[in-house]
Amino acid sequence: MASTSDVLTLVSSVALRLSIWIFLRWIPTTIVPGLAIVLTAVYVPCFFTSFQDTEQYKLISDELDIIVKHTIARDDDDDDDDDSSDEIQLIDGADQGPLEELDVQETIQYEEREPKILRTLLTGLPSPSSALWSWVTFAINMALIAMALDVVYRAPLLHQCHDASFGRVGYVSDHGANILVREPYAFDVRVLYRSIDEPNRSWMHKIHPASQPSHWLTNDTDFTTVLSLDYLRPDTAYEYVIETSSGNKTGTFTTAPRPGRTSLLKDNKYTFVHSSCIKPRVPYTPFQHPLEFPGMKHLARWLPELSPYFMLFLGDFIYIDVPHRQGKDSESYRREYRQVYSSPSWPAVSDHLPWIHVIDDHEIHNDWNSNMTGVAVPAYDAFTHYNAAPNPPAHRKGHTYFSFTQGPAEFFLLDTRRYRSPENKDPKDTAKTMLGAEQLEDLLAWIHKVPHNGVNWKFIVTGIPFTKNWQFGSEDTWGGYLHERRTILEAAWELSTTAGVGVVILSGDRHEFAATSFPPPAGSKWPVSATVHEFSTSPLSMFYLPFRTYKEMDDEDVCIKYLPDGNSKFGAVEITNPPHGEQSLLNYRLFVDGKEAWTHVISTPPSRDGSHRAKDAVWG
């Protein structure tokens, strides 16, 4: 029967191995670091207690055989008659009688114990007979613990990136570009740029004279600033060089086509990519750089073919609280951004691709809904300096939601964390708001405004899913704010019906992919051609959920496609205007773990005048 120490050793070891495997290779959950400490505290003493029983041989039996031999038959008469016999002296107190000889034989039976190598290596129990294999299985558990500690503490302790100097391209319009730079030293930062179609033209430049005391970059902004490149030509490819104290960063970007037009450079196609959620070393391998993002290599491989204008990143650019929060001050948040921009994976996806950002919960804290209180203050400080500053202009000055127009599309980038009401279990609570009164008013006005001629699409960009089909954690999504969601949908249906503009929602957050349509209610004043579509795509480099959480519940949110698996997902949106057609086409391409997994085409509503029934006949 197994001893108590053996049982505890087995249970704690198996639980430790399983939890750390999940932590390293699947989900770096916040539960595991604390759980691993408890399991290790149980495993180590129990292992050494069980280890005391490790012996090469096992005793089967130990028998003593005593053989009694009568050697001398003695009585009083014989003693008198036998003069030749030796006189035998009895021990005091011994009885008179015949003397006996005792022959004692001990028989020991034993067997060599099996080392049970496989059991030892798989379970973490000490080997019954081999100290070597016992130490090997103990070392396996200690190595797993070391790997978990490596994930949690190596980057924060050894890669704080205080000295990092770098630059990246942010929002690029049809006439300008924003360049974010970080320079902690007194070094004059320069950005050189020129159009690629004029290689013999001299370089234009923009400079920030950080070597001069009046222009020093300070810790107030974590030594960052934005340089704006002006007077650029629309729909033109530019090459650039960013000179910092750490060296030169080179790359290219393409200015946007004018509103209402598509690119002449890119086969009359307007393309951008989107995704969300990145965390270094997921899944984990021991020899990775501690700041490596495995999923970014898939995006980098497709960029030359897709040739997108920009990346629309929908939140969770950092994971301040996963797997273990290292601090709650501004420096803790700023360090996370510096680490991303110092990653060896970053240049391949940024040298030739501008990035535009929205904020979500893990830039603050998981499922954040407490407005600008507590950790939200340092969180927004870091987000503002690193990601919001080079973004498009704020839709309303001083706020963190943005809007812009490029080519055939308009974009409204929501902030779904800063202004929302606290969550509750009633999704139809009319008092709750996701956006706050001011942002909602601005969004509705933007939706209702008829766009520039040739602008056929409006994109509502939200960090969290718009559909209510996600059943796990739906209170944190738009599924928990259905009254406000319906207000937005009605505005979108009205615009599509009256102006023939397609409305598309882009979201992330769920580490899965789902395409959902939101048709107008049957029998309503809006035709089915006014249907709103959502493409929710994530993660770019993070875990995916091991269980299915998306399910169509009714005819309000219609599932088009659900693809949950994959550690790396991103979508490419391609807009074309057929030369002899009246409708604009949107081709959505989904990429999962480096392979194109799904394609879907939608069109704008027909521009034909008449009843909604006539429009549906054309559209359908």
Nearest to 562 by CA among 515, 500, 511: 515
Collapse the DSSP code of 214 into the 3-class scheme (helix H, G, I; strand E, B; otherwise coil) and give the result. Answer: helix
pLDDT for 620 beyond 60: no
Q: Using CA of residue 231, residue 313, residue 534, residue 561, what is the dihedral sign?
A: positive
pLDDT for 91 beyond 60: no
Residue 582 has a pLDDT of 83
The one-letter amino acid code at 544 reads Y
Model confidence at 71, pLDDT cuts 50, 70, 90, reads: low
pLDDT for 74 beyond 60: no
pLDDT for 611 beyond 60: no
- Domain 259-619, CATH homologous superfamily name and number: Alkaline phosphatase D (PhoD) (3.60.21.70)
Residue 618 has a pLDDT of 44
Collapse the DSSP code of 237 into the 3-class scheme (helix H, G, I; strand E, B; otherwise coil) and give the result. Answer: strand
Mean of per-residue pLDDT scores for the chain:
92
pLDDT for 62 beyond 90: no
Burial 468-494 (b: 16+ CB within 10 A, else e): bbbeebbebbbbbbbebbeebbbbbbb
Tokens linked to 135: 């130490």
Neighbours of 614 (CB within 10 A): 14
* 168: CB partners within 8 A, 6+ apart: 179, 180, 249, 341, 350, 355, 390
Nearest to 454 by CA among 582, 572, 267: 582
Q: Provide the phi-psi class of 220: left if phi over 0, else alpha when psi is between -120 and 50, else beta.
A: alpha
The whole-angstrom separation of Cα 61 and Cα 65 is 13
Q: What value does the mean pLDDT take over residues 281-307? A: 96
Residues 363-394 pLDDT 10s:
999 999 999 999 999 999 999 999 999 999 99
* 77: CB partners within 8 A, 6+ apart: none
Domain 162-255 and domain 259-619 have a common topology: no
Model confidence at 409, pLDDT cuts 50, 70, 90, reads: very high
pLDDT for 546 beyond 90: no
Are 417 and 369 in contact by the 8 Å Cβ rule? The answer is: yes
Residue 2 has a pLDDT of 77
The one-letter amino acid code at 387 reads N
Strands 355-357 and 402-406: unpaired
Q: Of residues 90 and 513, which shows the higher confidence score?
A: 513
Q: Where are the domains of the chain?
A: 4-56+115-158, 60-79+96-112, 162-255, 259-619
Q: What value does the mean pLDDT take over residues 154-178? A: 97
**Quick one: CATH architecture of 162-255?**
Sandwich (2.60)
Residue 84 has a pLDDT of 47
Identify the helix (H) or strand (E) that includes residue 330.
Answer: helix 330-341
Residue 263 has a pLDDT of 83
Q: What value does the mean pLDDT take over residues 234-258? A: 97
Query: DSSP label at 474?
Result: G
Residue 201 has a pLDDT of 86
Residues 300-309 pLDDT 10s:
999 999 999 9
The whole-angstrom separation of Cα 580 and Cα 562 is 33
Nearest to 479 by CA among 541, 401, 543, 536: 536
Tokens linked to 456: 């056929």
Instruction: Write the DSSP assignment of 238-301 as a string of letters.
Output: EEEEEEETTEEEEEEEEPPPPTT---TTTTTEEEEEEE--B-TTSS--TTS-TT--TTHHHHHH
Q: CA separation (Å) from 126 to 7, 48, 73, 85, 116?
A: 12, 8, 60, 65, 9
Collapse the DSSP code of 393 into the 3-class scheme (helix H, G, I; strand E, B; otherwise coil) and give the result. Answer: coil
Are 382 and 338 in contact by the 8 Å Cβ rule? The answer is: no
Neighbours of 288 (CB within 10 A): 16
**How open is the CA angle 339-344-350, to the nearest 5 degrees?**
85
The whole-angstrom separation of Cα 18 and Cα 16 is 6
Q: Using CA of residue 208, residue 210, residue 214, residue 219, what is the dihedral sign?
A: positive
* 166: CB partners within 8 A, 6+ apart: 181, 182, 242, 244, 246, 249, 341, 342
Q: What percent of the chain has pLDDT over 90?
A: 82
Model confidence at 423, pLDDT cuts 50, 70, 90, reads: confident
Nearest to 358 by CA among 405, 314, 316: 314
Nearest to 175 by CA among 99, 69, 257: 257
Model confidence at 408, pLDDT cuts 50, 70, 90, reads: very high
Residue 383 has a pLDDT of 98
Nearest to 250 by CA among 263, 261, 238: 238
The whole-angstrom separation of Cα 14 and Cα 5 is 14
Residues 101-150 pLDDT 10s:
777 777 776 666 788 999 999 999 999 888 999 999 999 999 999 999 99
136-140, 310-314, 347-351, 615-619: which range is least confident on average?
615-619
Q: What percent of the chain has pLDDT over 70?
A: 91
Q: What value does the mean pLDDT take over residues 71-85? A: 51
Collapse the DSSP code of 101 into the 3-class scheme (helix H, G, I; strand E, B; otherwise coil) and give the result. Answer: strand
The one-letter amino acid code at 313 reads F
Collapse the DSSP code of 518 into the 3-class scheme (helix H, G, I; strand E, B; otherwise coil) and give the result. Answer: strand
Q: Of residues 480 and 578, which shows the higher confidence score?
A: 480
Residue 66 has a pLDDT of 78
Instruction: Write the DSSP assignment of 116-170 as a string of letters.
Output: -HHHHHHH-PPPSS-HHHHHHHHHHHHHHHHHHHIIIIIHHHH---TT--EEEEE
Collapse the DSSP code of 617 into the 3-class scheme (helix H, G, I; strand E, B; otherwise coil) and give the result. Answer: helix
The whole-angstrom separation of Cα 339 and Cα 346 is 10
Query: DSSP label at 75?
Result: -
The whole-angstrom separation of Cα 122 and Cα 13 is 9
Residue 68 has a pLDDT of 73
